[in-house]
Structure 1
Amino acid sequence: MAFVKGFGILAAAVLLIMSMSYWAAGKARPALDAAARAALTAEGAAYDFIELPGGTVHYRLEGRVDAPLVVLVHGFSTPSFVWNDYIAPLTDAGYRVLAYDNFGRGLSDRPAAVYDADFFDRQLDELLDALGVNRRIDLVGYSMGGAIATIFAARHPERVRSLTLIAPAGLGVEGSGNVNLVLRPLIGDWIMRLFDARIAYNAAAVEAKSAPNPGAFLANFNRQLEYRGYGDALLSTLRHYPLGAAHEAFAAAGRSPRPVLVIWGEADDTVPFSHATQLIELMPQAQLRSYPGMGHNITFAQAPLVSRLLTDFLAVQGTRVTSGGAAGKPRGPLARMEARQCASCGPGDEGPSEPTLP
């Protein structure tokens, strides 16, 4: 009986310490409020902000006002600076470019909400409305942004002219014991509240090694860690977003004749390239470009290659392309975009041509 009583006291003490440290960690970092945003803007660390029903969003919009609009959607943890090397190539090619921070990331608000598919879909829809976008967009998504883009295209087909997916989540991602641990109630909340910055920084430090400027990459990444709410947002996303269960959305988007370009590194150990087989089955109109030896960081590690594939793809929006199947062999006019042939990118026959969607 004394043992049970002693154990109960110890458990209560541990819970009290965890609760107090959880609360303290939540207050340790400043809120990302209007004053913080004003300071960030003054020091040149931010672009523009806009108020949406769900919160304030940080975005970057450049290019001719009358040009076709390309919307860039980033992934799970690294915000919109991942697209920095795409702005000039796209605007120089005659496009208007919108890159924005998803809620919970970068310099956008971290609202207390369920970070599920509806939440991110609503953010993009409201952002386009708030910016007065009244024509179809060319939508590009990287990693989790690929799932966001696909779900958006499936739900709002009237708003999307073309779809480009770079190592897209939604059909499966590689898990780990650490992820399984933080998914558990209470203990996961405590871990992410106290150690989110350390966990995120360690992961970013590895990724930064493949960036053109590792120091700038880490500086941009760390800026979002200075404010409270980042870890809570990531945890809610892990628990509620269909990172590996968006198959119906891919199938729905695949039933549209809109052009789709898929770019993937075959050495991707975050969103394995093996998922490309199922993606092509669900999106038979997709043109797959894959590269051996390249990993999940292909978007920023190989920005010149990927941006060139993207601009070439956008330049042929008047033509529909078809996939060569799971092997990723390009078919149709897009197969002539690039002279380099990778192991899974052999020559193919030309596919049918169709008018572009209005």
Structure 2
Amino acid sequence: MKYFVVAGETRRLDEVTRAELRGDFIRCRDGITHYELTGPADGEVVVFTGSLTTPLFYWDRLVGELHARGFRTLVFSAYGRGYSDRVRGTYDEALFVRQIADLTERLNVTSPFHLFGASMGALVAMAFAREHPDRIATFTLAGPAGLQPAPAFAFLLRSETLGTLLARKLGSKMLDRHLKHNVRDPQLSAVLTAMVRESYQFEGSIYALCATIAAFPLAGREALYGQIGSLPFPKLLLWGDRDEVTPISSFDKVEALLAPTESHIVSPCGHMVPYEEPTETALRFAEFVTAARKESSR
């Protein structure tokens, strides 16, 4: 797919615009990453990997809860999202794994950290953990992707000519349709849509979204789940009972493959458990980490 800009992408990410934007920025191997490292300076670090469309602001409600419980948090926008660079390249799994590795190393997050992935970010988190199991203290997934059918149009987007044409014409509509199914509560859904759409005013955003759908393996990831299930770090699985993006019907299969230490179905809740139910998510996570600490000290 060729790089393109669509109507509505009226701003460019550069030093001038970034100086006016929230968050911090650091250059990694593939481009500039937009991040925030906040919370108690002596707290254990939790690193978050987000979904197909969301910027780092997605985690705001949850990180506030975790700061109050003594955790330090590292949130970032994946390439093509938030205020991170719109990379003109292949948006495959390796790109997003490198981003986590680069960011944590450059910020000196060297001790084993808690890794938390949601939706597509769950797949990125698993791919990172598979390569760097010694860097993981605990591992949490919420509404994980990977077992649902691939988008029907994904193979069309892989064509340089046809894919570029379809992405330019239909990319914004695909984004809007996707956002409608993420959150159960209409008010929270409206806030999320505005948050995501604000980031999509920057050049190359729809290109990055469609290039990810084309190159990132979003389906058939049973083997990856099984590989993570065989690793020894503690695992927590959270899932909304009314998830319409990664339906709860996959829960039993993921539980069998992942072999989590703990698993919880959050009710009533849609696809975005950390965003929709931050207090319950923080409580479950904190209790899980406390139990993991006690188990490791035996």
| Same-fold call, TM cutoff 0.5 | yes
1:26-65 paired onto structure 2 within 5 Å: 29-39=10-20, 41=21, 46-65=22-41
* Cα distance in 1 between the residues matched to 2:8 and 2:197: 18
Aligned partner letter, 1:33: D
Q: Tell me: CA distance 1:89–1:160, structure 2 relative to 1, closer, same or farther (3 Å).
A: same
Equivalent residues, number: 297
2:232 is aligned, of 246, 249, 257, to 257
- The answer to whether the 8 Å contact 1:154/1:250 transfers is no
* Percent of paired sites with the same residue: 26
Q: Equivalent residue of 1:317, what SS?
A: helix
* Cα distance in 2 between the residues matched to 1:270 and 1:218: 15
Does 2:223 correspond to 1:282? no
* Cα distance in 1 between the residues matched to 2:67 and 2:218: 31
Alignment partner, residue 150 of structure 1: 126
1:232 is displaced (CA, Å) by 1.5
Stretch of structure 1 that moved more, 299-308 or 151-160: 299-308
1:309 is displaced (CA, Å) by 1.4
| TM-score where L is the length of structure 2 | 0.89
* Cα distance in 2 between the residues matched to 1:248 and 1:117: 15
Which consecutive unaligned segments of at least 5 residues does structure 2 have?
A: none
* Runs of 4+ that moved beyond 3 A: 22-30, 174-185, 205-209, 211-216
1:47-196 paired onto structure 2 within 5 Å: 47-170=23-146, 172-175=147-150, 177=152, 182=157, 185-196=160-171
- The answer to whether the 8 Å contact 2:157/2:211 transfers is no
* Cα distance in 2 between the residues matched to 1:305 and 1:234: 30
Aligned partner letter, 2:163: G
1:32 is displaced (CA, Å) by 1.5
Aligned partner letter, 2:112: R
Over alpha carbons, which structure has the higher Rg?
A: 1
* Cα distance in 2 between the residues matched to 1:136 and 1:231: 35
* Cα distance in 1 between the residues matched to 2:99 and 2:255: 28
Aligned partner letter, 2:37: L
Q: Equivalent residue of 2:19, what SS?
A: helix
1:182 is displaced (CA, Å) by 4.5
Alignment partner, residue 296 of structure 2: 355
* Cα distance in 2 between the residues matched to 1:99 and 1:129: 14
Q: Tell me: CA distance 1:215–1:167, structure 2 relative to 1, closer, same or farther (3 Å).
A: closer
1:206 is displaced (CA, Å) by 5.6
Alignment partner, residue 232 of structure 1: 207
1:214 is displaced (CA, Å) by 4.9
Q: Equivalent residue of 1:113, what SS?
A: coil
| TM-score where L is the length of structure 1 | 0.75
- The answer to whether the 8 Å contact 2:183/2:272 transfers is no
Q: Tell me: CA distance 1:280–1:138, structure 2 relative to 1, closer, same or farther (3 Å).
A: same
Q: Tell me: CA distance 1:186–1:214, structure 2 relative to 1, closer, same or farther (3 Å).
A: same
1:257 is displaced (CA, Å) by 1.9
Q: Tell me: CA distance 1:274–1:207, structure 2 relative to 1, closer, same or farther (3 Å).
A: closer
